[in-house]
Amino acid sequence: MTMLRTEGLTKDFAGLRAVDEVDLMVAAGTIHSVIGPNGAGKTTLFNCLTGFEKPSDGKIFFEDQDITGLPSYRISHLGITRSFQITSLFPDLSVLENVRIAHQSRENVNMNFFSSLKGLKKIEKRAWEILEVVGLKDFGREKAANLDYGAKRCLEIGIALGTDPKLLLFDEPTSGMDTEESARIIRLIQDIAVNKTIVLVEHNIEAVLQISNGITVLQQGRVIAHGTPAEIQNNETVQEAYLGGYKPHAAD
């Protein structure tokens, strides 16, 4: 089943075409990466898919529902959640509270004290479960601001999971990390992908080739290639435009 697809998706900014007639298809239950050089239009594409930018032309379909131009909050409630290049947390709240608030936004808990108490306990239980998934259960009572950078990235993923998404979009989740921290995030994404669909923008090409089921390559806003990791690695146009002769370490 196709989870997400676009048809001729285009975004213009005052004469600059950042996304140029992009056709994208993401199968349910896969990790699909979008790669390309800086300025290729990857983040703008994400912004259009998640309602932070309104497309100039084209269509976006989520589970065959046309979501083109819907505001971000409506897209989120349909089951699409994204992360950003810069961490976006509530720094003065605890790690648990950050995830609990995200999950509470998806639960029907009213303001009646007695009827909502059971629901709030259920929400907190789920928040603890998510913290265990992202490896932060021991830091649940810690203030989010006190986490190191890698842990903050894990918390951001936990917040995304708190919204109970069907589709997760990660925008450069390993940006600014060392090798060990990057590996931790990539393993977490692989674990999440067992029962979620993921679209990933990532400059760590070795990780992309390792974990992706499908890859789309952008250059100057246009799609120059679609394919499996092996097909993309062996594509001469992609090698010239972006990979520059890259071969995985295992092949050295």
Boundary of a domain, candidates 105, 136, 164: 164
SS3 at position 117: helix
For 175-218, write each residue's pLDDT tens digit: 888 889 899 999 999 999 999 999 999 988 989 999 999 999 99
**Residue 12 backbone zone (phi > 0: left; psi -120 to 50: alpha; other: beta):** beta
CA dihedral sign of residues 227, 6, 53, 106: negative
Average pLDDT over residues 145-154: 92
- Decide if 31 is inside a domain: yes
The verdict on 169 and 252 lying in the same domain is: yes
H/E element holding 4? strand 2-13
Find tokens 């259009």 and name the residue: 48
The verdict on 169 and 118 lying in the same domain is: no
Query: Structurally, how many domains does the chain consist of?
Result: 2
The verdict on 128 and 198 lying in the same domain is: no
Angle of helix 149-162 relative to helix 95-104, nearest 10 degrees, comes to: 20
What single-letter DSSP state applies at residue 144?
G
If pLDDT is split at 50, 70 and 90, which confidence band does 119 have? low
The verdict on 211 and 251 lying in the same domain is: yes
Q: Please tell me the predicted confidence (pLDDT) of residue 251.
A: 42
* CATH number of the domain enclosing 184: 3.40.50.300
The verdict on 137 and 204 lying in the same domain is: no
The verdict on 13 and 71 lying in the same domain is: yes
The verdict on 65 and 17 lying in the same domain is: yes
Q: Please tell me the predicted confidence (pLDDT) of residue 252.
A: 40
- Decide if 105 is inside a domain: yes
User: Whole-structure pTM over 0.75, yes or no?
Assistant: yes
Phi, psi of 217 (to 5 degrees): -110, 125
- Decide if 33 is inside a domain: yes
The verdict on 159 and 183 lying in the same domain is: no
The verdict on 57 and 106 lying in the same domain is: no
- Decide if 37 is inside a domain: yes
Write down the number of H helices and E strands in the chain.
9, 10
- Decide if 103 is inside a domain: yes
The verdict on 215 and 137 lying in the same domain is: no
Average pLDDT over residues 113-121: 61
What single-letter DSSP state applies at residue 245?
T
Closest C-alpha to 221, from 3, 6, 1, 2? 6
Boundary of a domain, candidates 164, 193, 225: 164
Find tokens 């108490």 and name the residue: 117
The verdict on 237 and 249 lying in the same domain is: yes
Find tokens 């974990």 and name the residue: 211
The answer to which of 15-24, 117-126, 241-250 has the lowest mean pLDDT is 241-250
CA dihedral sign of residues 60, 64, 70, 71: negative
**What is the residue range of 32's domain?**
1-79+165-252
Residues recorded for the chain:
252
- Decide if 84 is inside a domain: no
